């Protein structure tokens, strides 16, 4: 009898593996078929950029950072996929694999989450066609490299839970780390995630992967330069997704994760516990990601993000200037405002038509002193 059960489970695992492999192959085919490089759409393409050198030199003057990042993403995702398949074959329905899938699946929101914090990607990245629905929400392009979400959002859980276990091993049973393990884990992820995000994003910006075209001057690194980064805002808010991703995978004394406990409330899926666990993870992460975007949308509506990334480092694309701040800082055009730029952010008429250049405009070309 046990041999039959084991055989049935093995067959089910093999079918699941083949299904996910087919999904992976389909995604690779779609990417290969529809991929675009450069500012192709007239909506964002700058026809005046032919022959214009890039006004910004990226880290170490290295010209192939884009290719490096894309290659690293491919290698990392292949390794992640192989690892997930291997774990799934040994333990079907493993919560870590489910979380890796869930934290990757929220990538559907990425164009909106690029719009909210003014995240402008380098058009030289391979990307989806710029005018596709939803994709066109991204200020310039929606690159394929964002498929690596799982490494970013789920990654901090592993050092955090390892550190929590070490703290528990050195503490008495009445210590805070024992009495409030979920709160302790959340706090550790907050700190680790904040530092990790800062290091990662500053390096990605310095290597020309993307910019934050507008940031709040307070709490930001290098404001009014191409490498400006909203440190307090981005690195703190991004943990809104990291924390639930980690907490949901925390195992209690019974060996069950928080997500599996919550799954018990979905009575209509009691016969499909793996699916129910995934839906709990996916639903909670989507809500958390919406909260991240809502916070940045509030900043956008407030008009407080007044520091612009100057000079605009992607001349092949029009300058993304939804509120006219770039123009008033002396940045040469042409400009475009993108989508969701009217009532959505309190501008019923869209981008202001007249934006006088400030006397102390930070983007205006500086005159060289006479010799």
**Residue 335 falls within a domain, yes or no?**
no
- How many helices (H) and strands (E) would you count in the chain? 13, 6
Backbone angles phi, psi at 229, to 5 degrees: -145, 125
pLDDT of 16 reads: 64
Is 170 exposed, middle or buried (CB count within 10 Å of its CB: 0-12, 13-18, 19+)? Answer: exposed
Contact 219, 233 (CB under 8 A): yes
pLDDT at residue number 351: 87
Residue 356 lies in a domain: no
Domain count across the chain: 1
> Residue 154 falls within a domain, yes or no?
yes
Pairwise CA distance, residues 255 & 234, whole Å: 34
pTM above 0.85, yes or no: yes
- Judge whether 76 lies within some domain: yes
- Domain hosting 46: range is 35-302
Residue 24 covered by a domain: no
The answer to the question of residue 20 being in a domain is no
- Contact between 107 and 146 (Cβ < 8 Å): yes
For residue 369, what pLDDT is reported? Answer: 47
221 found inside a domain: yes
Report mean pLDDT in 10-residue bins for the chain, 371 residues.
Answer: 54 65 74 76 84 82 92 92 90 93 94 96 91 92 90 95 95 90 97 97 96 96 96 96 97 88 80 89 96 96 94 93 93 90 82 86 68 43
Residue 23 lies in a domain: no
104 exposure class (CB count in 10 Å sphere: 0-12, 13-18, 19+): buried
């Amino acid at each position: 009898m046990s041999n039959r059960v084991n055989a049935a489970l093995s067959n089910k695992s093999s079918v699941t593996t083949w299904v996910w492999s087919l999904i992976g192959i389909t995604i690779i085919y779609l990417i290969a078929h529809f991929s675009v490089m450069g500012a192709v759409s007239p909506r964002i393409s700058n026809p005046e950029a032919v022959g214009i050198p890039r006004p910004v030199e990226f880290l170490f003057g290295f010209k192939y950072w884009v290719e490096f990042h894309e290659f690293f993403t491919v290698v990392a995702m292949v390794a992640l996929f192989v690892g997930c398949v291997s774990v799934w074959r040994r333990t079907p329905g493993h919560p870590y694999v489910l979380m890796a899938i869930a934290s990757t699946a929220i990538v559907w929101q990425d164009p909106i989450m690029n719009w909210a914090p003014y995240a402008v990607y380098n058009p030289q990245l391979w990307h989806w066609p710029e005018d596709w629905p939803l994709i066109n929400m991204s200020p310039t392009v929606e690159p394929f490299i964002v498929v690596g979400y799982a490494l970013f959002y789920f990654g901090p859980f592993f050092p955090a839970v390892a550190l929590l276990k070490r703290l528990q091993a050195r503490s008495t049973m009445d210590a805070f780390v024992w009495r409030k393990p979920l709160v302790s884990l959340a706090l550790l992820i907050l700190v680790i995630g904040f530092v990790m995000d800062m290091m990662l994003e500053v390096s990605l910006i310095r290597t020309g992967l993307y910019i934050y075209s507008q940031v709040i001057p307070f709490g930001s690194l290098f404001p009014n330069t191409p490498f400006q980064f909203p440190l307090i805002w981005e690195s703190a808010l991004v943990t809104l997704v990291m924390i639930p991703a980690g907490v949901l995978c925390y195992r209690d004394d019974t060996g069950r994760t928080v997500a599996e406990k919550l799954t018990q409330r979905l009575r209509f899926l009691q016969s499909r516990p793996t699916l129910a666990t995934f839906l709990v993870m996916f639903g909670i992460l989507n809500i958390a990601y919406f909260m991240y975007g809502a916070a940045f949308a509030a900043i956008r509506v407030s008009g407080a993000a007044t520091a612009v990334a100057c000079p605009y480092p992607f001349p092949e694309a029009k300058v993304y200037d939804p509120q006219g701040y770039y123009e008033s800082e002396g940045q040469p055009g042409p400009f475009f405002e993108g989508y969701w730029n009217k009532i959505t952010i309190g501008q019923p008429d869209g981008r202001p038509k007249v934006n006088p250049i400030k006397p102390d405009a930070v983007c205006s070309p500086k005159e060289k002193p006479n010799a």
